[in-house]
Amino acid sequence: MNDQNAELIRRGYDAFARGDVTSVFQMLSQDITWHVPGSSPLSGDYQGHDQVGGFFATTMELSGGTFTIDIQDILAQQDRVVVLCTVAAERHGQSWSSPEVHVWRVAGQQAVDFREFQGDEQAEDAFWSSPASR
């Protein structure tokens, strides 16, 4: 099951990278819980496809579609999948990247919970919260 869970999550990241949100939602439970720490416009707790879809849309809107995730490793044990990655984006002419750890819980061949752990929460909050330069 560990390998199946890891492969499920990898397919979700691959679909996200292709912009195939339909395939991403196929691997997410209808009742997915999604947690992003901090105090930026992206921070918060999201529940279900509609709210997570809104989170994706806001992420892409704020980054002008430049948001990416580069996976370094995927580790799985029982119902947990841990993704070591680097996220990156551009906003208002500024580039930003940061290491993150994403922790997933899988049940019934779908992701049911996602928690993001940021490498530098304050820097990430500042990047996503920064106003446009005049």
Contact 127, 118 (CB under 8 A): no
Predicted confidence band of residue 132 (pLDDT cuts 50, 70, 90): confident
Q: What is the pLDDT of residue 1?
A: 59
Nearest to 34 by CA among 51, 11, 20: 51
Contact 8, 83 (CB under 8 A): no
Contacting residues for 94 by C-beta, under 8 A, at least 6 apart = 127, 130
Q: What is the pTM of this model?
A: 0.94
Average pLDDT across the chain, whole number: 95
What are φ and ψ of residue 43, in 5° steps? -70, 145
Q: Order across the sheet with 110-118: list the strands.
A: 44-47, 28-36, 110-118, 94-107, 80-91, 68-77
Predicted confidence band of residue 91 (pLDDT cuts 50, 70, 90): very high
* Model confidence at 134: pLDDT above 60: no
The SS3 call for residue 7 is helix
* Model confidence at 50: pLDDT above 90: yes
| For range 78-102, the mean pLDDT | 96
* Model confidence at 133: pLDDT above 90: no
| For range 100-111, the mean pLDDT | 97
